[in-house]
Structure 1
Amino acid sequence: MSGSGDFDSGRILAMAKGKSPWGGDGDPAQADPPVSDGEGGDPPADEPAPKVKDDSRNPWLPPHADEPARRSANIEDIFRARGGRGGGSPAPGTGRNWLPLVLAGLIAAWIGGTSVHVLAKGEQGLVTTLGHYHRTAGPGLALTLPWPLQAVTTRNTAKIEETVLPAQEGENLMLTRDRQLVDFGFKLRWRVTDLQRFAYASPSTAAVIADIAQAQALAAVAELPLDGLIEGQRRAELQQRVASRSQAVFDTLKLGVRIEGAEVTRAEPPAKVAEAFRKVGLARQEARKTVAKAQTFVQQTLQKASNEAAEFESVYLQYQAAPEITRKRRYYETMERVLSANPTVIVAGNGVSTTVAPAPVPTKSGTPATPATGGQ
C-alpha cells in the first residue's frame, strides 16, 4: 500500500508542475506560470526557460482556428501530385478529350480489318463462325462479322499443286511383276475443287493425298515388268493407272481434289546393282543390233529371190508362146553378158592377131574404166 501511495503522490506532484502524467509536458495554457524571483516577470535564474510545445501535429487536438478543416486524399489528388513531379502526364481534362477518339479509331480499325475481305481471282475464302463452317466466299469483296465472331481462311483453288514422291532424298524401292526391285519416283499434279471438303476431310489433306498416291503407285508398279519401266515402254501406262486409281479413291473419301496429271520422274535399278544393270543393258543393245542386221539380210535375200522367180515366170511364159525365138534370144543375151567383159581377138590370115578391148563399163563414181589393150 505504501508503494501505491507514493506513485499517486508523485503523479499529483508532476501534474501540479505542468507535466503530463505519462512523462510529457502538460498543457501550457493550463500550466501555472513560472514564479519570478524578481521584477519584470523573468523566470528565476536557477530555472531553465519553459519550452513552447507545437500542438499542430497532435492528432488528438482540434485544429487551430486559422487552419482549414482536413479531409482524406482522393484519387485525383494522387494523380495530380504525381503529375506535378515531372512525370509528363497531361493535365486533367486533356487526356479525357482524346481518349474517346482513340478508342473510336481502334474500334473502326478492328471492324474494318476483320470484317472486309478482298479475294483475288482464283481464290476462295472459307468463312467460319466461332470455328464452325458458315459458307464459302468467291473472288471479290466478302463481308463478315468482326473477329473473333467470324474468320476467313483463303486459298488459291486455281493453282496446280504438286505432290512429289518420295518426299525425302533417297531410294524408293518397289517390287515389279517379275520380282525385281526398281527405284521409282513420280510426281502427282492436283488442285482443289471443293474448299469445304478439302479443309474438313482431314487435319492434313495434303498428307492423305501423298499416302494414297504412294499406295496406288506400289500397286501399279507391281503389275508391270522391270524392263518396261526402266526402258520407258510402259511408263505412260503406269502414269495413267496411278492417276485414275488415285482419283477414284479421292472421290470415295470426298477430298474435294481433282488430279491434273501424273509423271514418272525416275525408274532405275537400285544403286547397288546399277553397274550390273548397265552391262546387261549394253549387251541387250548389241543383241538388238545383231538381230536387226540379220532381219535386214533376210529381207534383202527374200526380195532378190522373189524378183528372180518373177523373171523366170516371165521368161517361161515367153518360151511357151515362141520356144525357138525365146531360146535364141536367151542364148544371145547370155553370150553378151559373158563376153562383154572379155577382150576380142581378131586373127588375120598372115598369122597376125589384134586384140580389141571391150567397151568401157561405167564405175560407181561415174568415170568409165579403161581396160588394158595389147597385140601380138
Structure 2
Amino acid sequence: MAWNEPGNKGNDPWGNKGGNDKGPPDLDEVFRNLSKRFGGNGNGSSGQNLSSFSLIIILAIAFVVWGLSGLYTIKEAERGVALRFGQHNGEVGPGLHWKPTFIDEIYPVDVQSVRSVPSSGSMLTSDENVVKVELDVQYRISDAYAYLFSAVDANASLREATDSALRYVIGHNKMDDILTTGRDAIRRDTWKELERILEPYKLGLAIVDVNFLPARPPEEVKDAFDDAISAQEDEQRFIREAEAYAREIEPKARGEVERMAQQANAYKEREILEARGKVARFELLLPEYQAAPEVTRKRLYLDAMQQVMTDTNKVIIDAKNNGNLMYLPLDKLMKEKPATMPDVEPKPQQNVNSSSIPTTRIGEPLSGRPSREERARQGRE
C-alpha cells in the first residue's frame, strides 16, 4: 500500500508521523534549519547568504572538473588533429596536453603503423582471357587532417582506387605475361596508376608497397597453363646454362686465338730471318760461283745429297754386271740387333758378299747415267 493511500496510518517518507502534513517541507525551511545549525538566526538573509555560498562552491567544483576533463595524452605513434569550434587548429604531437573542453576537440590518428588494403577478383586481359588476380596495397597515413576530413572514408576510397587501377593494368596486359614474366611490370604499373588516381583526392595516404600475388588461370585451363609455365621455366634455365657455357668457353677461345697469333708472328719472324739468311748466303756464294762454276756446282750437289740422305735408312746399290738394282734392308738389320753374347762370335752372313756388292762414291750417278750437271755441261759444250 502506498504511503498516501487512504487507510495508511504509517509514517510518510517525509517524516510526518501523524499524517497531518499535506506535502514535503519547503526549501526555505530546509535552508533555515541548515542556517540554524551553522549558527544563523534562521531569518531570510542568512538563507540567501547560504545559497550564494553553495552556488560558489558548486561553480568551483564544476570549474575544477572542467579543467581536469581537458587533460589528454597523445601516443608516440599518433598525431592529434585539433579542431576549435569545428575549424582546423593544427596538429598536436605526442605527450600530455590540455584542451578547453567544449571548445577544442582532439582526434588522435596513428601515423606510423603500416596498414594494408587487399584487392582481388576475376579480370579480363587484353587477349580476352579471364584471370584471377590478388593484390595487397600497404600504406601509411602521411597527413592526419586530410585522412580524417578529405573524404568520408579514406580507407574505402583507397580500396576502390586500388580495384580500379588493378583492373586497368590487367586489361592492358596479356595473360601469359600476367602469369609468368610480366608480374613485376604489372606491380610497378599498378603502383603508378594508383598514385595517379589518388593524387587529386588528397586523402593524406602514402603508398609504401604493392604486392602482386601469384595470379591463377581459370580451373578449366589450369593444367595447360601449368605446362606453359613449366616450358618457360625450362627455357630460362637453358638460357642460363648456355650463358654459363659461353662464359666458360670464351676465355679458352681468347687464349687459343692469342696463342695462334703468337705462333703466326713467330713463324713470320722465322721465315723472314731464314729468307734473309738465304739471301746473305747467296750473296756470299755468288762470287765463288762466278770464280769457279764447276767446283761450286759440285759442292752444291754434294751438300744437297748429304742433306737428302741424312735421314734415310735405305741404300740402293748399282750392279755394273747386269744393270739391276739390289735393295739392302739396312733398316731391318739395324732394328734386329743380336743379343749381347760375349763368348760367341758372330757368324758371317752367307747371303751377302762384300766383294760382290759394288759401291758408289758420293757424287757419282746411281744408275750409270750421267748426272744432271754433266748433262748440262755436255749440252753447253
- TM-score with structure 2 length normalisation? 0.49
Which structure is higher in helix share? 2
- TM-score with structure 1 length normalisation? 0.49
